[in-house]
């Protein structure tokens, strides 16, 4: 369980350090070209969830985040013996949720900054917490698809 909480802590900490560093050095709407025509650091605030879903419903998104964190802990983590793969998956998920939750509580919006352009398609701007959540979902899906009988929280302590 130490790995899970270590991964969650490291993910949250790194996410917040990056966001606070960018807020210190950049203004909202400012963009720094990193790889011409492909990647920019663009500082924006997002009051919604992914792709600005539920935009301007910050309180609802805070409540949803808290409910998800509690469900994760009480249904999948507490009293379970998780393997390393599960600890990585849940650690990234919790860290990502916490990173964006901290933004919503402190700033009433999530700070996004990773701005990619793929062959003329400008992908929505996102952040490290979002990456952690997506990777965790992929890892959990892999475990579920594999049908691991000892997987996702089936073992008790």
Q: Tell me the residue range of the domain where 47 lies.
A: 2-146
Q: Determine, yes or no, domain membership for 23.
A: yes
Q: The tokens 């892999």 sit on which residue?
A: 142
Annotated catalytic residue, options 15, 103, 115, 130: 130
Q: Determine, yes or no, domain membership for 153.
A: no
Q: Determine, yes or no, domain membership for 30.
A: yes
Total count of domains within the chain: 1
Q: Determine, yes or no, domain membership for 154.
A: no
Active-site residue, 148 included: no
Q: Three-state DSSP class for 154?
A: coil
Between 25-29, 46-50, 123-127, the lowest mean confidence (pLDDT) is in: 46-50
Q: Determine, yes or no, domain membership for 80.
A: yes
Band of residue 142 on the pLDDT scale cut at 50, 70, 90: very high
pLDDT single digits (tens) 34-75: 999 999 999 999 988 876 777 878 999 999 999 999 999 998
Phi-psi region of 147 (alpha: psi -120 to 50; beta: other; left: phi over 0): left
Q: Which residues contact 127 (CB under 8 A, 6 or more apart)?
A: 15, 18, 19, 99, 100, 110, 111, 112, 113, 114
Q: Under a CB-based contact definition with an 8 Å cutoff, are residues 67 and 73 in contact?
A: no
Annotated catalytic residue, options 15, 103, 112, 115: 112
Q: Three-state DSSP class for 156?
A: strand
1 vs 7 pLDDT, higher one: 7
> Does pLDDT of 1 surpass 70?
yes
Q: Determine, yes or no, domain membership for 132.
A: yes
Active-site residue, 103 included: no
Q: Give residue 72's pLDDT.
A: 93
Q: Determine, yes or no, domain membership for 155.
A: no
Q: Determine, yes or no, domain membership for 76.
A: yes
Band of residue 3 on the pLDDT scale cut at 50, 70, 90: very high
């Amino acid at each position: 369980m130490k790995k899970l909480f270590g991964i969650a802590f490291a993910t949250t900490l790194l996410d917040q350090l990056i966001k606070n560093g960018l807020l210190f050095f950049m203004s909202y709407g400012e963009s720094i070209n990193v790889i011409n025509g492909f990647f920019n650091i663009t500082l924006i605030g997002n009051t919604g969830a992914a792709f600005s879903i539920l935009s301007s419903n910050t309180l609802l998104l805070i409540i949803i985040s808290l409910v998800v964190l509690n469900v994760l802990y009480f249904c999948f983590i507490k009293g379970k013996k998780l393997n390393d793969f599960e600890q990585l998956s849940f650690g990234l998920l919790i860290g990502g949720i916490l990173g964006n939750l901290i933004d919503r509580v402190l700033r009433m919006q999530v700070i996004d900054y990773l701005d990619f352009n793929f062959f003329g398609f400008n992908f929505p701007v996102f952040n490290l917490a979002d990456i952690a959540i997506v990777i965790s979902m992929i890892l959990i899906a892999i475990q579920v698809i594999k049908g691991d009988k000892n997987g996702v929280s089936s073992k008790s302590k």
